[in-house]
Amino acid sequence: MVPLHAVHLTGTRFWVTHRRCSYGPFDYEWSPDFNGVELQYAGRKFGEYCSAEELYADLKPFALPMSVVRVTSIVMGCVLFGVLNGLPESERHRLVRERLKEFGYARFCPDGAEFDD
């Protein structure tokens, strides 16, 4: 059975399940000049990270539920922080769990069961 709410992380890719509907995959890809990171949803660019001071993201064209947008923002931020700071995958997952709980989205990470550690 599909969970009501969840985040499924596999490496840097993830899916957000909201009301039993799955959205994703969300991922990133280095820009061709390696000076930034392109944020992707289902293979389409929705934003770009250039530096800690310069980040652009717009999921509006995809008409996603607001909870999905908020959870995606939290998870993508944690993934990028972890990758750019060399954190191992288990630490990135721990960070995602902590931040989701901190911002009121603990229901998306039930006991970490959806995280491929």
Alpha carbon of residue 61 to chain centroid: 17
Q: Over 90: is that where the pLDDT of 110 sits?
A: no
Q: Over 60: is that where the pLDDT of 115 sits?
A: no
Report yes or no: 32 and 23 within 8 Å, Cβ to Cβ. no
Beta strands 21-30 and 13-18 are antiparallel
Beta strands 44-51 and 37-41 are antiparallel
> Nearest 5°: phi and psi at 24?
145, -170
Q: According to the model, what pLDDT value does residue 108 have? A: 94
Q: According to the model, what pLDDT value does residue 18 have? A: 96
Q: According to the model, what pLDDT value does residue 113 have? A: 44
Q: Over 90: is that where the pLDDT of 53 sits?
A: no
DSSP 54: E
Q: Over 70: is that where the pLDDT of 66 sits?
A: yes
Q: What is the mean pLDDT of the chain?
A: 89
Query: The pTM is what?
Result: 0.88
Q: In this predicted model, what pLDDT tens digit does every residue of 3-14 receive, in sequence order?
A: 899 999 988 899
Alpha carbon of residue 116 to chain centroid: 14
Torsion angle defined by CA atoms of residues 13, 102, 57 and 61, in that order, rounded to the nearest 10 degrees: 80
Assign 3-state DSSP to the chain and report helix, strand, coil percentages, each to 5: 35, 35, 30
Q: In this predicted model, what pLDDT tens digit does every residue of 18-49 receive, in sequence order?
A: 999 999 999 999 888 878 899 999 999 999 99
